[in-house]
Structure 1
Amino acid sequence: MTHSYARSAEVADAQASGSPVVALESTIITHGMPYPQNLEVARQVEDDVRKAGATPATMAVISGRLHVGLSDAQLEALAQARNVAKLSRADMAVCMAQKRTGATTVAATMIAARLANIGVFATGGIGGVHMGADQSFDVSADLMELGQTAVTVVAAGPKAILDIPKTLEVLETQGVPVIAYGQDALPAFWSRSAGFDAPLRMDTAAEIAAAHKMRARLALPGGQLVANPIPISDEIAPEVLAPIIAQAQAEADAQGISAKAVTPFLLQRIFELTEGRSLTANIALVRNNAWLAAEIAVEMTTQG
């Protein structure tokens, strides 16, 4: 059977030798920040994974072909590309069939990682249940993907713009373990605490890797969500963020912004209202997650 994806030379070499690999998404490149900062951050995150002992596999669809790992030239081209689709489970295959280019969200990156037999994925924050979802039914496909695709996802918790208690309820219904790393409190993206404890806690990469392998032995579907708190020096306090998020949400509601447009709009307005601090924090937490994901991937390889 021919693979439905192409591996970069670096990823192919790593997998051939049984070395650890970490999946990375690409929407942070195409939809997260402008060029050339997006390229600089993408290279920085890939290097963080390498320094921690693993190989990065940035996922993207380029001209209809799913790529598991990008060459530096492909990374640079993607960072400057226009009209790149933002891919999730629903539209990934259509984008490929139409020979288009698309960047992978959490759900699409998990699908790509599963196809390529990569067990760990580092991202910024997951999507979830949006405020007002009782009326809009706006619930991210990331949550359902976590319930069915066996990849351990390292994030800084749910994005702070979400209804976090409802997001946790959906994850619990989907049977997804939500594990706070190194603390009891559930982190909330830019802040180290959402104001309540996570359902589970683990303090080492080895424990997280062992739990991933135990789920496989039990034939449990779905992955794990590891909520890794942002470094203290980069945190934005919840009391600073709360009124800013509320203002951005009110503006989105007033302008009738919905569906896939909500998150980019909110993140852009929060960037403006925090005078850039939110983006600085975002970069710090993504890098922090890359380190932990690489450590988990190393442990998975070591544990056999």
Structure 2
Amino acid sequence: MSNVTGIEMPYLAKYVLRGSRLVAFYKRGYGTASPFVFSEEVRRAKSEGKPIVALESTIITHGMPYPQNLETAKQVENIIRERGAVPATVAILKGQLSIGLSEDELTYLAQAKGVVKASRRDLAPITAAKLDGATTVAGTIIAAQLADIPVFVTGGIGGVHRHGENTLDISADLNELGRSNTLVVCSGVKSILDIGRTLEYLETQGVCVCAFGESSDFPAFYTARSGFTAPHRVGDAQQAARVLHAARQLELASGIVVAVPVPQEYAMDEKIIGEAINSALKEADRKGIFGKEVTPFILAAVAKATSGASLNANIALIKNNAKVGADIAVEFKKLKNGDDSKNAFNIGLSKGAGKCTSNSSRHFHTSCSRRADENPLFSGDKKCGGDVLVIGGANVDRVYRLKEDGVQVRVTWSNRRTQVVPLRLAPPCTAAIGS
């Protein structure tokens, strides 16, 4: 942090507080642009501590034809809003990773040509070339991690392709799930994949796989059963949220898959789907289609072979997944708020994350009369009310001191026992201080 001057350092302290979790994002070289931008709706949700649900964008650009893709995207977002959460569709627009899209941006993306499917390997090249990119499951998980959005809803995740033991054609989604702590709501994996090997690979990656509802059957996207049993089962959104909460408390660095079966009235006949997929796979092989182009080709072929019934099932399951994901996000936020209230130690925080009210009985040493989001990180004169942020309480006092090489936390309990905890920030620097 050598580029932060003694004048800038105390001003940075004003922006350390983020509810019960303290997060400071800083990059070497003050003034470096953020790797992503929030939509106004998501930014406001972050400021107010509302639950947020991440959504991928390849389902818009590569999963459905226009105008069904746009209509479905809008309907899915509205379902999430109606259930008390905020949708955050993720995409790269002209090289900018965007978390949350406006209606105009959704409309543009639904009709845009040449949009690149953006997995982990593609994010940097697309951004550097200022292209449009639609994030896959893997790409969206990365964005959700960057933005601290714990719940992500999609249709189906990728997996180990058939004959993957020879071709090594394995979706990057599985590795990303293994190194993130995101909960992904989906309808299992598509029948075009090797479902058994996919589950084995997820186990190797340490991913917790849970069937959702009354059955432990692992779904196969268009059908409610794949012939395989999920290792775990969660009966409802509240139980799923508890699993996510426990995983966060244990600081597990692997994700959770909540597999929701397609609604029964839209579930398709397994034999019909199997025949359509086998025929489409042979056609793809004959035409030399492989890699990331296989899935959209198969989906289009299956939709044609089933006279559009598979597309209706696709739309129904993503809407149903949105309901489940929003409910999980809301329940998880309740659990987080319960933790926040237990750990607040009467420091004068309002219930809304990141807020500080003028009539609070306690005040920070540095001024917090306005939200951090309402001002740039550093004002023109870089002045602020002090160089130490002090949070007081009846049982414990915490002093957070920003230093050149990190953050020093001094905690004093009512029995006068004092502990000093140094937290170092490594460039490029992201420090997260748990409550």
Shorter chain as denominator, the TM-score bin is over 0.9
3-state SS, counterpart of residue 196 of structure 1:
coil
Q: Report whether the alignment pairs 1:260 with 2:319.
A: no
2-structure distance, mates of 1:47, 1:109:
19
1-structure distance, mates of 2:280, 2:301:
6
2-structure distance, mates of 1:232, 1:218:
36
Report the counterpart of residue 155 of structure 2 in structure 1. Answer: 124
One-letter identity of the residue aligned with 1:165: G
Conserved in 1, the CA contact under 8 Å of 2:151 and 2:183? Answer: yes
Counterparts in 2 of 1:223-262, with a 5 A limit? 223-262=255-294
After superposition, give the CA deviation of every residue in 1:125-177 in whole Å (9 maximum; x if it has no partner): 00000111122211000000000011100000011110000000100000101
Counterparts in 2 of 1:41-52, with a 5 A limit? 41-52=72-83
Structure 1 runs not aligned, ≥5 long: none
Q: Report whether the alignment pairs 1:93 with 2:124.
A: yes
Answer with 101-110 or 242-251: which moved more: 242-251
1-structure distance, mates of 2:134, 2:287:
26
3-state SS, counterpart of residue 90 of structure 2:
strand
Give the percent of matched residue pairs that are identical in Structure 1 and Structure 2.
50
Q: Report whether the alignment pairs 1:78 with 2:109.
A: yes
Structure number with higher strand proportion: 2
Report the counterpart of residue 211 of structure 1 in structure 2. Answer: 243
One-letter identity of the residue aligned with 2:121: A
3-state SS, counterpart of residue 91 of structure 1:
helix
One-letter identity of the residue aligned with 1:110: I
Q: Report whether the alignment pairs 1:299 with 2:331.
A: yes
After superposition, give the CA deviation of every residue in 1:81-106 in whole Å (9 maximum; x if it has no partner): 11001000011111111111100000
Report the counterpart of residue 276 of structure 1 in structure 2. Answer: 308
Q: What displacement does 1:270 show?
A: 0.7
The equivalent position to 1:290 in structure 2, one of 295, 304, 322, is 322
Q: What displacement does 1:264 show?
A: 1.1
3-state SS, counterpart of residue 23 of structure 1:
strand
Q: Report whether the alignment pairs 1:137 with 2:168.
A: yes
1-structure distance, mates of 2:333, 2:250:
19
| Count of aligned pairs | 304
1-structure distance, mates of 2:178, 2:128:
26
One-letter identity of the residue aligned with 2:237: A
Report the counterpart of residue 28 of structure 1 in structure 2. Answer: 59
Aligned-residue CA RMSD in angstroms? 1.0
1-structure distance, mates of 2:111, 2:278:
32
One-letter identity of the residue aligned with 1:280: N
One-letter identity of the residue aligned with 2:167: S
Q: What displacement does 1:16 show?
A: 0.7
1-structure distance, mates of 2:180, 2:189:
18
2-structure distance, mates of 1:252, 1:76:
30
2-structure distance, mates of 1:62, 1:221:
29
The equivalent position to 1:11 in structure 2, one of 42, 51, 68, is 42
Instruction: Name segments (4+ residues, structure 1) moved above 6 Å.
Output: none
2-structure distance, mates of 1:117, 1:4:
13
One-letter identity of the residue aligned with 1:208: A
Counterparts in 2 of 1:163-182, with a 5 A limit? 163-182=194-213
After superposition, give the CA deviation of every residue in 1:213-254 in whole Å (9 maximum; x if it has no partner): 211221211210010000000000212211121111122222
